[in-house]
Amino acid sequence: MTTHTAMEPNGKDVTNILRTAGLRPTRQRVSLAELLYSKGDRHISAELLHEEAVAADVPVSLATVYNTLHQFTEAGLLREVAIDGNKTYFDTNVSDHHHFFIEGENRVIDIPGEGVGIGAIPEAPEGMEIVRVDVVVRVREKR
C-alpha cells in the first residue's frame, strides 16, 4: 500500500486533479498548484509564482515554473491572459469572464459579476470559427 493519499485538504485534490489531467503529481507540480489555487482567483506571472514558491520553501527553477504553467494551461487548469504585451499572466479562473487591466500598476483583476456582456458577437470571417472573446477594460487611477 503505497497509496499514501493523505487527507490534507488540498494535497489530495490537487494530486487527483493532476493525475486526471495526465500529469504526474510531482513535488513541484503539487506545490505550485497549491500556491495557485489556495488563494482564490489569481492572475499571476511566472516570475511572481516562482518567487512565491521559493518563499514558501519550495525551491523550483524558473524553467520548471514556465513548463508547469504551460502544462496546466494545456490541461485546462489555467487560462493565459495576454494583455500587456511583455508579460504573460495566468488566470486561475478558467470560467468565462473578462478583465480590468490597471495601467501603471500592470495589474489584472476579474470583472465581477455579469458586469460585461458583448452586445452582438460578430460573425467570424469566412471559414473561421470563434474560439473565445476577450474583453479588457483598461483603467487608470483617477486624478
Partner DNA sequence: ATTTGTGCAAATCGTTTGCATCTGA
Partner DNA sequence: TCAGATGCAAACGATTTGCACAAAT
User: Which residues make up the interface to a copy of itself (CB under 8 A)?
Assistant: 80, 82-85, 88, 100, 102-103, 109, 111-113, 115-125, 127-142
Residues in a beta bridge with 81: 89
Binding flag, residue 45, DNA (CB under 7 A): yes
Inter-residue contact 10 to 34 (CB < 8 Å) = yes
Binding flag, residue 64, DNA (CB under 7 A): yes
Instruction: Output the smallest distance, CB 83 to a copy of itself, in A.
Output: 6
Inter-residue contact 15 to 32 (CB < 8 Å) = no
Q: Residues in contact with DNA, total (CB under 7 A)?
A: 26
Cα–Cα dist 124/138, whole Å = 25
Name which of DNA, a copy of itself, none residue 9 binds, using a CB cut-off of 5 to 8 Å depending on partner kind. none
Name which of a copy of itself, DNA, none residue 54 binds, using a CB cut-off of 5 to 8 Å depending on partner kind. none
- CB atoms inside a 10 Å sphere around CB 53: 22
Instruction: Output the smallest distance, CB 88 to a copy of itself, in A.
Output: 5
Name which of a copy of itself, DNA, none residue 63 binds, using a CB cut-off of 5 to 8 Å depending on partner kind. DNA
Name which of DNA, a copy of itself, none residue 26 binds, using a CB cut-off of 5 to 8 Å depending on partner kind. DNA
Q: Find all residues with CB under 8 Å of 121, minimum gap 6, and list them.
A: 130, 133
Cα–Cα dist 30/91, whole Å = 17
Tell me the CA end-to-end span of the chain in Å, nearest whole number: 63
Query: Closer CB to a copy of itself, residue 63 or residue 133?
Result: 133
